[in-house]
């Protein structure tokens, strides 16, 4: 069993850019969406090894803007734990839906999110071409479109 402590990052604590940049290569984008967002960190033996960012879209819907596990700890079920924790946090805060966006090339993430109960609701054509300075490639596929997935939070 992994001993993980998940908690809200306090205002005076350092922003875990090293983790956030794993999920989003643009620091400029990160700096825009973390304003007014809540950053949750996961600690193992007092070391920050993962994080996620939640930001309200409106009074019913909240978005996971970023989710990342440090490479040495990936593939051990932590992503799944964070996703469930994000859903629980959103539910506790009164939200009815939670959404997450990912790239068309992010095959593993699309698998993980759908397995966790998210369904595809929208595609934003050319999002990663229009909003990023450099082309992004993953799994030998160019990341062009954003796939938006949503999950209803059962009361």
Write out the residues near ligand COA by the rule CB under 6 A: 22-23, 67-69, 74-80, 102, 106, 108-109, 111-112, 115
Minimum CB distance to ligand COA smaller for 3 or for 11:
3
Minimum CB distance to ligand COA smaller for 102 or for 153:
102
Minimum CB distance to ligand COA smaller for 5 or for 115:
115
Rounded Cα–Cα distance for residues 42 and 49 (Å): 6
Smallest gap from Cβ 1 to ligand COA, in A, equals 14
Q: Is 62 helix (H, G, I), strand (E, B) or coil?
A: strand
> Which token pair is 53?
């960012």
Smallest gap from Cβ 22 to ligand COA, in A, equals 4
Sign of the dihedral through C-alpha 34, 8, 102, 26? positive
Minimum CB distance to ligand COA smaller for 42 or for 153:
42
Smallest gap from Cβ 155 to ligand COA, in A, equals 26
The strand pair at 97-103 and 61-69 is best described as parallel
H or E, element range at 30? helix 27-33
């Amino acid at each position: 069993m992994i001993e993980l402590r998940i908690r809200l990052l306090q205002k005076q604590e350092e922003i875990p850019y090293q983790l956030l940049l794993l999920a989003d290569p643009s620091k400029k984008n990160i700096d825009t969406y973390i304003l007014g967002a809540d950053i949750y960190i996961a600690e193992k033996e007092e070391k920050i090894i993962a994080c996620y960012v939640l930001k309200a879209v409106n009074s019913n819907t909240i978005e996971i803007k970023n989710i990342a596990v440090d490479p040495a700890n990936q593939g051990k079920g932590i992503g799944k734990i964070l996703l469930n924790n994000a859903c629980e946090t959103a539910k506790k805060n009164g939200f009815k839906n939670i959404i997450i966006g990912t790239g068309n090339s992010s095959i593993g993430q699309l698998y993980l999110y759908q397995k966790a109960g998210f369904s595809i609701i929208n595609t934003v054509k050319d999002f990663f071409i229009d909003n990023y300075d450099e082309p992004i490639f993953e799994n030998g596929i160019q990341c062009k479109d954003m796939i938006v997935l949503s999950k209803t939070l059962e009361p």
